[in-house]
Amino acid sequence: MSSNTVSASIITIGDELLIGQVIDTNSAFIAQELNKIGVPVKRRIAVGDVWDDIWNALDEESKYSNIILITGGLGPTADDITKPLLCKYFGGKLVMDEATLQHVTYLFEHVFKRPMPLLERNKKQAEVPDVCTVLKNEKGTAPGMLFEKDGKLFFSMPGVPHEMKWLMQKHVLQIITQKFQTAFIEHRTLLTAGVGESFLAEKLVSFEANLPSNIKLAYLPNYGMVRLRLTAIGNNKEAIQSAINQSFTSLKSYVKDAMVIDEDLPMEAVVGKLLKEKNKTVATAESCTGGYIAHLLTTIAGSSDYYEGSVISYSYKVKEDSLHVPNATLTKYGAVSEETVKAMVQNVISLMKTDYGVAVSGIMGPGGETPDKPVGTVWVAVADKKKIVTRKFHFRFDRKKNIELTAVNALNLLRQLIVDNH
């Protein structure tokens, strides 16, 4: 089969996905792994634990894609109907797979160390349709299953993320690359700040008009930043890489004034990379974000090389006692003020003995506003031992979004200061 006809659909099964009780991370992982082997995902669909809905989804997705990947509904309880449905859909009957039964028995007796005998419903985990190829699941009790119909592949995997990931990497990807001639897919991504999506689009009109037909530009706005991603697809890897590198160089020249970094990195990783390169350290003094900036910085492996710690000064008392913000400053200007964040950032640098500091104070909502300080008002200060830079923001979202925006914009202000210093 030619590479330009290969595509995939993802079907995730479970009522918990439709009511928002569980976030579907499986689809994102599957799509990323397929992309690495040159298989674009054409469609993604979530359905509940309803027989007709699952059946119809299989019919519908097989019209669009050569590869259909299914997760969920393979457990031992009554609401797990995927296996019997697939058995009927592909015209088979359930049979006991002895290798799977041995594996399930081993797990319960030696790994889980259950004192009671194996339940009948646990044994049924080893039943599979006689028309499938069993994909051994070493991470759990429900095996993966492969069905073929009209030259198309249907993979059924458990919904438990670590089990699905193991099956994808151990079995599924290898089978796909053996069965299909896949394309080469290349991405290049850069991050911009300070320029809105529509303004970037205006700036890039001529660039987009001259892009080769096999290269596409995507705009990915988030938290006041915009990622620009080029994607190229084709059969010749060297030609694809050469073409996308040339286009990426051109793209960078168009947005050089707004570009943060020419890699697909979040802002906390960008800041961490800069600090590590410069052999500098930073500390944070957080009020309205409650430690969220510290959380972002410490999600990056190796952050102990440059991040010293934080003072979460949520109250006036902690601002005064731990960060030594003068009572007169708080009384006269309030916690959400330029004067307060200046004192916070200066004193956290002194307290933690770091090269840089970040301080934030604001009103995240939904309450707490005053006539001159509405919800979303935030003051940010970043500093080194010689210079303080402050900025006032006016965010307009809910509490969670305002906290996230404050953190990312504070980190970007720190990034700018570090860049300006070097």
The CATH number of the domain holding residue 308 is 3.90.950.20
Mean pLDDT throughout 40-46? 96
| Angle made by CA atoms 219, 299, 71, in degrees to the nearest 5 | 65
5/233 Cα distance (integer angstroms): 12
Secondary structure class of 173 (helix, strand, coil):
helix
Does residue 158 register a pLDDT over 70? yes
pLDDT (0 to 100) of residue 415: 97
Indicate if 401 and 290 belong to the same structural domain: yes
Mean pLDDT throughout 80-103? 93
Which tokens in the block code for residue 415? 């990034």
Nearest to 40 by CA among 11, 13, 5: 5
111 CB neighbour count, 10 Å cutoff: 8
3-state helix, strand, coil split of the chain in percent (to 5) is 45, 25, 30
227/243 Cα distance (integer angstroms): 20
251/379 Cα distance (integer angstroms): 33
Q: Please, which pLDDT band fits residue 80 given cuts at 50, 70 and 90? A: confident
Indicate if 243 and 300 belong to the same structural domain: no
Please provide the average confidence, as pLDDT, over all residues in the chain: 94
Nearest to 413 by CA among 224, 236, 279: 224
Parallel/antiparallel/unpaired status of strands 356-362 and 282-286: parallel
Is-contact 286 362, C-beta < 8 A? Answer: no
Percent of the chain with pLDDT over 70: 99
358/356 Cα distance (integer angstroms): 7
* Domain boundary residue, one of 234, 261, 288: 261
Each residue of 241-289: pLDDT tens digit?
Answer: 999 999 999 999 999 999 999 999 999 999 999 999 999 999 999 999 9
Mean pLDDT throughout 351-362? 98
Q: Please, which pLDDT band fits residue 2 given cuts at 50, 70 and 90? A: very low
Secondary structure class of 146 (helix, strand, coil):
strand
Nearest to 74 by CA among 22, 126, 30: 126
Indicate if 50 and 140 belong to the same structural domain: yes
18/55 Cα distance (integer angstroms): 17
Indicate if 175 and 193 belong to the same structural domain: no
Mean pLDDT throughout 386-398? 96
The region, left, alpha or beta by phi > 0 then psi within -120 to 50, assigned to residue 407 is: alpha
Indicate if 289 and 371 belong to the same structural domain: yes
pLDDT (0 to 100) of residue 1: 39
Each residue of 308-338: pLDDT tens digit?
Answer: 999 999 999 999 999 999 999 999 999 999 9
Nearest to 370 by CA among 333, 342, 402, 338: 333
CATH classification at residue 130: 3.40.980.10
Is-contact 252 240, C-beta < 8 A? Answer: no
Indicate if 173 and 190 belong to the same structural domain: no
Percent of the chain with pLDDT over 90: 86
Indicate if 14 and 158 belong to the same structural domain: yes
Nearest to 145 by CA among 226, 83, 228, 102: 83
Secondary structure class of 107 (helix, strand, coil):
helix
Nearest to 252 by CA among 200, 325, 183: 200
* Domain boundary residue, one of 160, 179, 198: 179
369 CB neighbour count, 10 Å cutoff: 14
Give the chain's domain count.
3
pLDDT (0 to 100) of residue 3: 45
Parallel/antiparallel/unpaired status of strands 127-129 and 94-96: antiparallel
Indicate if 255 and 198 belong to the same structural domain: yes
- Please list, in sequence order, all residues whose beta carbon lies within 8 angstroms of the beta carbon of residue 163, skipping any fewer than 6 positions away: 137, 139, 140, 142, 157
pLDDT (0 to 100) of residue 241: 96
176 CB neighbour count, 10 Å cutoff: 23
Mean pLDDT throughout 386-405? 96
Mean pLDDT throughout 142-158? 96
pLDDT (0 to 100) of residue 270: 97
Mean pLDDT throughout 383-409? 96
191/227 Cα distance (integer angstroms): 4
185/215 Cα distance (integer angstroms): 10
346 vs 97, which has greater pLDDT?
346
Indicate if 236 and 327 belong to the same structural domain: no
Does residue 26 register a pLDDT over 80? yes
Does residue 4 register a pLDDT over 70? no
Beta bridge partner(s), residue 191: 227, 261
Domain range holding 121?
A: 3-179
